[in-house]
Amino acid sequence: MLSSNAITSIEPHAFVGVSADNIQLGSNQIEVIESEAFQDVTVTHTFDLTSNQLKTLKARSFLHVSCSNLLMSGMKLSSLPSQAFSDVSVTESLRLNNNAIKSIKAEAFFSVRTKYLHLQDNQMEVVEGKLFGGTSSSVSEALYLSNNHLTCLPSDLLDDATIGQVTLDYNSLDVYPKFHIPNFGKM
């Protein structure tokens, strides 16, 4: 348990090959997570980074990570780079809600598998191209994009992913999104 300390950054390879029941890094002062900081990490239950000062997440910060819940809510993230999450399996919920995310680069979620992806209650204005990359991405239950500032969505937003449902309420969408939905449940 490393929560409620004064940790300010997570350096590359800081958590390589770690296997644990829980990783608790919440309520620190973490502002930056470097590339490959969390590589080949397996967490049986909860991986908690909530309530930090996180502003910067580098590409491939999470590489080959497996856990039940990845909690990253209530921070200061303003954007997600391409492949921020690469080959990540979260059996329940990946939570990035209640941040300050304004933009998401194409393929920020590369080969990501989860039941629920929470991106609601941010300040999202732009999603630059498709959200998912790789061939095995899926959000089996719901992708939450509600309560943002989205005015339009790219037509390839959901390409290369299987999606259960998408919530888009309380945005500023001008036009009904015309994205290709190959494996889509409900909207």
Q: Is the pTM of this model over 0.85?
A: yes
Looking at residue 58, its pLDDT comes to 96
Supply the pLDDT for residue 168. Answer: 92
| Residue 186 confidence (pLDDT) | 52
Please provide the size of the chain in residues. Answer: 187
Tokens of 134: 């790789």
What confidence tens digit (pLDDT) does each residue in 88-113 have? 999 999 999 999 999 999 999 999 99
Per-domain residue ranges of the chain: 9-186
User: How many whole angstroms separate alpha carbon 154 and alpha carbon 126?
Assistant: 9
State the pLDDT at residue 178.
Answer: 65
**How far is Cα 15 from Cα 31, in angstroms, rounded to an integer?**
17
Token code pair at residue 73: 């809510």
Give me the percent of the chain exceeding a pLDDT of 90. 80
34 CB-near residues (< 8 Å, 6+ apart): 9, 10, 11, 12, 14, 58, 61
Phi-psi region of 151 (alpha: psi -120 to 50; beta: other; left: phi over 0): alpha
The CATH class of 9-186 is alpha beta
Q: What is the DSSP string of 62-97?
A: EEEEEEEEEE--SS---EE-TTSEEEEEEEEEEE--
For the chain, which residues score pLDDT lower than 50?
A: 182-183
Check: CB of residue 121 under 8 Å from CB of residue 96.
no
pLDDT of amino acid 126: 86
Are residues 179 and 155 in contact, defined by beta-carbon separation less than 8 angstroms? Answer: yes
